[in-house]
Structure 1
Amino acid sequence: MKLDLTGKRLLSMTVEYSAVLHFSDGYMVRIESSFRFTLPGKQYNLSPDVDPQESFQPMSTLLHQAVTKSAINDSGALIIAFDSGATIHVEPDDEYEAWTVGGPDGFLVVSMPGGELATWEAKPDSP
């Protein structure tokens, strides 16, 4: 499944029991379980509910970068690639909602426990 994040820029990020990424055009990604953040030549395994906030400092390099690819693979993992070559990879969790992608007009995709997806399509206001 493709997401509508391609071309969106990361505007801000907060970490407090979850990693929340705010993108341009009203898109948001919330990561609530362990994930892999990769920079060219470096890899970080991060967990927002366990790791201290300073562990997420390498992700600050993503600010103002554009997304070049955003997808959900067959197992329900979320993959986001940036124009610098950095990637975020979030596997589904067996017991919890691992990640959520939200957008304008009610667009929402939630990784349910076990990797099943719950989706809501955007419904623009009609005149």
Structure 2
Amino acid sequence: MSGAQRRFDLSASAALAPLLDHYQAKVTGAEICKGGPLNLTSTDDAVLLVEPDDRYEAFTVAGKLPSTSRRFFFVAVPGGGLACW
């Protein structure tokens, strides 16, 4: 995405093709804010920002912390906000 900011309409699947360049990219940084936005940075310095949606769960993030058995699960709830388990 070469430093330029772009918006993607998830209802237009053909327009999502540029995101395939980042499929299976290694995430080097992640930030989830209480209001619901998700910000991911990858090894190629690409940044993916997922903003909350008024009607849908914009994202789900699940995983395990390194060096522990503790798991986490975050869901961006419709209208903004975050549910955590």
Which structure 2 residues correspond to residues 55-94 of structure 1 after superposition, within 5 A? 55-94=15-54
Residue 97 of structure 1, aligned match among 57, 73, 76: 57
* TM norm structure 1: 0.54
CA distance in 2, matches of 1:82, 1:76: 20
- Normalized per residue, which structure has more strand? 1
Residue 76 of structure 2, aligned match among 92, 97, 111: 111
CA distance in 2, matches of 1:102, 1:47: 24
CA apart distance, 1:42 = 2.7
The alignment of Structure 1 onto Structure 2 pairs a total of residues equal to 80
CA apart distance, 1:64 = 4.1
* TM norm structure 2: 0.75
Larger RCO (CA under 8 A, 6+ residues apart): 1
**Structure 1 unaligned residues grouped into runs of 5+:** 1-38, 121-127
In the alignment, which residue of structure 2 is the partner of 1:4?
Answer: none
**Structure 2 unaligned residues grouped into runs of 5+:** 65-69
Provide the identity percentage.
35
Across the aligned residues of Structure 1 and Structure 2, the Cα RMSD in angstroms comes to 2.1
CA distance in 2, matches of 1:119, 1:97: 13
In the alignment, which residue of structure 1 is the partner of 2:67?
Answer: none
